[in-house]
């Protein structure tokens, strides 16, 4: 869905498309209260994910239209990232309340509120001015040429794949760290919440600051490699938490997360800088759709891969992940060295 959605985003009224997709996603999300079988649940979940993929591309395209160019665009995206993490924290708090009440009414109310947040977002989007059709305005060939030009940009596709591999470090936070703490360390189980809370707070406070300097793609590539160094260091530190006392294990896990989240912040800014900066401005929709493919591939492959590395290979698995992130982020430097749009 991401590439076709991006193709449409370059040619149609992006504001209305984003608002419309948010409304559809909200209705779909709220519809879970009517689900009473696994087959129906699976079908609706797939539908919500498909809609969400297309909506994500449309939102990224809208960002490129309202946020200026270069570093301004990255800075705008960083502000959104900080706000998103605040929203995640608020959502977790509401979920905790529903879990504490533990009734069907509480859970159904939570589902409906979740759906309504999409509707509210749509109303906010409609407050934006109408966006012109950039592809048609700036170049006639862009609107009449090949439908998926971004897929023909081999260097951009390569950057997309590298970014997708690097994005698997997010899976470490949601899957790898909890599995590692619970199954292979003596750290208290509540350490999972502590390290994830550290991540959330850091993303809220430092996303904008960490994105500085990533508007230039050559510099963004170097920052990306620096991010890889931090994430790799975090992986190595996590591995040392096995077989030590609860206090030392907890301390190492927290230290590992401090390195990890530093790499996350630097890598996010660098990724936005490359994803926006390497794209043709009149075809940002197409290019952002392609960029989302790498992210999606990482989300598909990541959980199984990281579970295997952390649960089966254990310490060796963490070192393999460290090497993977180092190599992946280093490859951005030669990839963009001679890049021209």
Query: Which regions in the chain score pLDDT beneath 70?
Result: 1, 3-4, 6-7, 9, 131-147, 340-341
Q: Are 221 and 333 in contact (CB under 8 A)?
A: yes
Compute the C-alpha angle 33/107/37, nearest 5°. Answer: 40
Report pTM.
0.85
Q: Are 22 and 125 in contact (CB under 8 A)?
A: yes
Write out pLDDT tens, residues 100-137: 888 999 999 999 999 999 999 999 989 888 766 655 55
Compute the C-alpha angle 160/161/163, nearest 5°. Answer: 65
Q: Are 57 and 9 in contact (CB under 8 A)?
A: yes
pLDDT score at 259? 97
pLDDT score at 139? 46
Write out pLDDT tens, residues 23-53: 999 999 999 999 999 999 999 999 888 888 8
């Amino acid at each position: 869905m991401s590439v076709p959605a991006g193709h449409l985003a370059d040619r149609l009224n992006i504001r209305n498309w984003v608002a419309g997709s948010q409304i559809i996603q909200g209705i779909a999300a709220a519809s879970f209260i009517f689900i009473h079988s696994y087959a129906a649940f699976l079908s609706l979940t797939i539908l919500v994910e498909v809609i969400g993929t297309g909506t994500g591309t449309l939102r990224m395209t809208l960002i490129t239209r309202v946020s200026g160019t270069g570093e301004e665009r990255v800075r705008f995206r960083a502000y959104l990232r900080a706000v998103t993490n605040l929203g995640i924290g608020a959502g977790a708090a509401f979920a905790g309340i529903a879990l504490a009440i533990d009734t069907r009414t509480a859970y159904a109310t939570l589902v409906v509120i979740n759906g309504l947040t999409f509707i509210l977002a749509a109303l906010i989007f409609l407050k934006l001015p109408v966006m012109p059709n950039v592809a048609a305005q700036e170049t006639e060939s862009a609107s009449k040429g090949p439908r998926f030009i971004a897929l023909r940009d081999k260097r951009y596709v390569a950057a997309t794949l590298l970014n997708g591999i690097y994005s698997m470090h997010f899976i470490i936070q949601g899957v790898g760290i909890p599995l590692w703490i619970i199954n292979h360390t003596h750290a208290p189980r509540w350490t999972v919440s502590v390290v994830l809370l550290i991540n959330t707070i850091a993303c809220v406070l430092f996303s904008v600051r960490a994105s500085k300097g990533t508007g230039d793609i050559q510099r963004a590539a170097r920052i990306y490699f620096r991010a890889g160094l931090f994430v790799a260091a975090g992986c190595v530190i996590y591995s040392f938490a096995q077989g030590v006392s609860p206090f030392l294990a907890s301390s190492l896990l927290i230290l590992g997360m401090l390195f990890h989240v530093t790499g996350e912040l630097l890598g996010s800014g660098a990724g936005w800088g490359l994803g926006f900066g390497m794209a043709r401005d009149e075809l940002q929709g197409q290019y952002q759709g392609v960029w989302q493919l790498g992210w999606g591939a990482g989300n598909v492959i990541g959980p199984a891969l990281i579970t295997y590395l952390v649960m089966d290979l254990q310490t060796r698995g963490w070192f393999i992940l460290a090497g993977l992130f180092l190599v992946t982020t280093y490859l951005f430097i030669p990839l963009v060295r001679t890049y021209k749009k």
